[in-house]
Amino acid sequence: MTMGEVAAIGERLRVAGLALAGVTVHVAEEPEAVRRAWRNLSGDVAFVIVTPAAADALGPTGRESTHPLIAVMPP
């Protein structure tokens, strides 16, 4: 079984360091940029880490997602 990729979406200051752990980082400062990053995720992404602001921008789409799985960073 192969593991999927991990991605992160959100503000630069919150997600940039995750790249050091091999996470594909999508910097998105504005709500539309968040939604665009979500739509453009690779089909290989199995887990997405989002900032609280990014989670708000995604709305129910992100909170209810089971593929990819999503985790919201603490505030």
pLDDT tens per residue across span 3-48: 799 999 999 999 999 999 999 999 999 999 999 999 999 999 999 9
Beginning with the edge strand found earlier in the chain, give each strand of the sheet holding 69-72 in spatial order.
24-27, 5-10, 45-50, 69-72
Residue 66: pLDDT band with limits 50, 70, 90: confident
Q: Dihedral (C-alpha) 32, 35, 39, 42: value to the nearest 10 degrees?
A: 110
Give the strand pairing for 69-72 and 45-50. Answer: parallel
Tell me the pTM.
0.91
Would you say domain 5-72 falls under CATH 3.90.800.10? no
